[in-house]
Amino acid sequence: MTARTYLEPLCLLSGPAAAAAIAEGSGLPFGADRAFLHARLFRRDGDAVTEQLVAAPALHGRAELAPALVGLAAPVGPLRIMGIVNVTPDSFSDGGRWFDEEQAIAHGLSLAEAGADMLDVGGESTRPGSLPVPVEEEIRRVVGVVKALADRGLTVSIDTRNAATMAAALAAGAAIVNDVTALRHDPDAMRVVADAGCPVVLMHSQGEPQTMQVDPRYRRACLDVFDHLAERVAACLDAGIAKARIILDPGLGFGKLAAHSLDVLQHLALLRTLGCPVLLGASRKSMIAKVSAQKDLPPADRLPGSLALAQAGVARGASIVRVHDVAETRQALALAEAVDTAA
């Protein structure tokens, strides 16, 4: 493997403090309205990884870091909340609650009322241990829900790894494709997204849902996830999908133990050097129970941990959070943002 340097921005500022740091030369741009004062440089050569902390101004003039700095400066839009609508009998948190089409539509409307900026509709559970759903059944589950929500003027994402489901949902009014396999599962998926010209969420995952948590392994999780998503971005660009339409999801819990997910989340800002918005899906995940030493804590009781992870992700550059609890997440993030941007 060729040696590679990775840039992780540190000491992020928002609001007037960010503008002042950029103006005086002590900080560099992080999106349109934030700045970073320092950086961690990872250097990986084979299995050896070294780290170096540097002040942001010291990054100027380093040719190997120029693409990363351009990526960090790219605007990613305002903070947005994606509400989860699982039209499934077996999703890990709310499987069966919204399996009826009318109930799923009502749930989506309630999430929009609570402040969701977009709704992610899925008809196949990809939780650990889940089995595949026939594509025809997946389409049957989601198309009516997608159409009903889109017809009400709501922004709908279709959560699927199957090209036929993507096409059917887009025809019904979906505006975004969210693929847990980063368009790798179905050979026709890349073409469907490219032809549609729609935004796409590329998520990192390792293995298949049935077995992905059995024995996941990484050389260094945060860097391996970065490399995988960088390769998927390049593949999308080659297929005619514009970078402005690509969103990245590190895939917490998808082929990752809790320690892997924590490493990825701690260094989440690495992904922003690819110049794309970052989506974080940590809501109610099992890592909350494991990290808090409450191994039997059911998903519905993981709201405090979900809010903590959402705040940690946004603090490290995520601009979209995918959640079950929209109103609570919006309130928590609004307060965190108010603190960060106070003059």
What are the residue numbers of the active site?
285, 322
- The Cβ of residue 25 has, within 10 Å, a number of other Cβ atoms equal to 10
Spatial distance between the Cα atoms of 132 and 126, rounded to a whole number of angstroms:
8
249 and 279 in contact (C-beta within 8 Å)? yes
Reference 312, options 291, 298, 327; nearest CA is 291
DSSP codes of every residue in 5-65:
EEEEEEEEEEHHHHHHHHHHTS-EEETTTEEEEEEEEEEEETTEEEEEEEEGGGGTT-GGG
Task: Report the residue count for the chain.
Answer: 343
Spatial distance between the Cα atoms of 282 and 253, rounded to a whole number of angstroms:
8
Kindly give the pairing relationship between strand 28-30 and strand 156-159.
Answer: unpaired
